Structure 1
Amino acid sequence: MDHHVLQEYLTAHQFPVVKKTYKKYLTYEGIQDSYVYILKNGVIKTSVISKDGRQFNLRYINQLEIVSLLKDEYSQYIDAPFNIRIESPEAELYRIDRVQFWKDINRSMDLQLYVKDYYRVRLLHNMKKLQQMLMNGKFGAVCSQLYEFQELFGVPTEEGILIDFVVTNEEIARFCGITTASSVSRMLQQLREMNAICIENHKILIRDLEKIKENIIF
């Protein structure tokens, strides 16, 4: 998705920037908010809470992007659709009055096209995520999540692709709908025995991406 239109819009306005530190929440699911937030820098995580109280992680976001869904353009206050938590030491987000944001979108064809593309990409991501959850099984879901992590945080090294971001087994479990972190630990051990991954300084190094992909139904 081409972000230059969004960046030009932000550059042309002096929107306030909110700074949050590690593990602080920007929004809570179901709590009313009157703003649209756009990530400027840092890493954030979106998640939802199930009826039985379990947390399910949706995405990590680490680049310029709208991080709160827009919903309709007429309501001043809306219920936040998910939790947004800071996962990097610090993150900065533009905060824009949501009604004003919609007015600006309606005045700009470029912004309208950007928002349509934003929804299209998010819909495709959600459909892909659902497909992987339903078709891959738990082991395949973990492999699928590792593949997504290397796309977001991967750094090529001589040994393979380093996921340059610390992700705990508990967080992986929450991305994959797995009940316990110990189950994820067993699956990662299986991948280590396959020589597909290793752990370096609490970070996952993918040594053989093809072995990861063999367990994923794309």
Structure 2
Amino acid sequence: MVLTDIEYLISYLEAHNVPKIHKKRHTYLTYHGLSEHYTYILKQGIIKNSIILQDGREFNLSYIAKPDVISLLRDEVSKFTSQPFNVRIESDEATFYQIDRVTFWKYVNATPELQNYIKNYYRKKLSENIFRLQRMVMNGKKGAVCAFIYSLIDLFGRQISEGILIDFTVTNDDIAGFCGISSRSSVNRMLNELKQDGALTTRDRKFIITDISYLIDHIAN
């Protein structure tokens, strides 16, 4: 069986007995701007990446819900590097591989398969950053909310009789943070519009998308 890049990385870490750590819900793994000498690889769980803006507000960047390296956005030779964003645990628990960052890069430089993973990692992160920028710049507030909810389908979507269940609880505060909206009341107003227009409903604080074409129609192409 041919392993995917991330499957190869996980098997490599296991073979080299890289230690694992466990973090509970709403605790932080790293903080934006603080020095860190570890590289972290998510094995299991859901995390949220965010940064702190100059006015003190938290701006959300992404959810990660599959095994992946948390951040490689710094050079490979420095033992310590400042963290590019906050990483908060959003599932009940998350498990990470924790490896000295210089050791991690030694593994990468010695292994073509890991080099391929890193190349694809940076390509994927660039694509995600472009998408987030487009969502912020090309859509109004309502379009940004529609685009964000639509993006949750790949991460947490599950088909049920009523539509597509987003099987994860997302708060209005988090939506505001992802969409660059200053208040949760604005988010609440837009969500009510989606519900009144028949595009969205909720059950047990989780979204059910009942009209996916409505979301697509409100996202700028």
TM > 0.5: yes
Given that 2:5 and 2:114 are in contact with CA atoms closer than 8 Å, whether structure 1 keeps it comes out as no
Structure 1 counterpart of 2:17, from 14, 19, 25: 14
Counterpart position of 2:92: 89
How do 1:191-210 and structure 2 match up within 5 A?
191-210=194-213
Residue matched to 1:4: 7
TM-score under structure 1 length normalisation: 0.97
Match of 1:180 in 2: 183
Shift of the alpha carbon at 1:149? 1.0
Shift of 1:5: 2.2
Letter matched to residue 49 of structure 1: I
Per-residue CA deviations over 1:101-132 (Å, capped at 9, x if unaligned) read 10110001111111010000000010111011
Unaligned 5+ segments in structure 2 are none
Secondary structure of 2:51's partner?
Answer: strand
Gaps of 5+ in 1: none
Calculate the aligned-residue CA RMSD, in Å. Answer: 1.0
Helix, strand or coil at the partner of 2:135: helix
Q: Quick one: which amino acid aligns to residue 81 of structure 2?
A: I
Q: How does 1:140-159 map to 2 (within 5 A)?
A: 140-159=143-162
1:151 Cα deviation from its structure 2 partner: 1.3
Equivalent residue number for residue 170 of structure 1: 173
Change (3 A) 1:70 1:8: farther
Aligned-pair CA distance for 1:69: 2.4
% of aligned pairs identical?
49
One-letter code aligned to 1:156: Q
Once residues 2 and 103 of structure 1 are traced to their aligned partners in structure 2, the CA distance between those partners, rounded to angstroms, is 17
* TM norm structure 2: 0.96
Q: Which residue is equivalent to 1:59?
A: 62
Q: Deviations over 1:10-68 (max 9, x none)?
A: 23221111111011001001110000000011111000000110100001111100012
2:121 equivalent to 1:131? no
- More displaced stretch, 4-13 vs 87-96: 4-13
Q: Displacement of 1:4 after TM fit?
A: 2.2
Once residues 168 and 55 of structure 1 are traced to their aligned partners in structure 2, the CA distance between those partners, rounded to angstroms, is 14
Moved over 4 A (4+): none
Contact 2:73–2:84 at 8 Å: present in 1 too?
A: no
Q: AA paired with 2:158?
A: V
Asked if the contact 2:139/2:220 (under 8 Å) is kept, the reply is yes
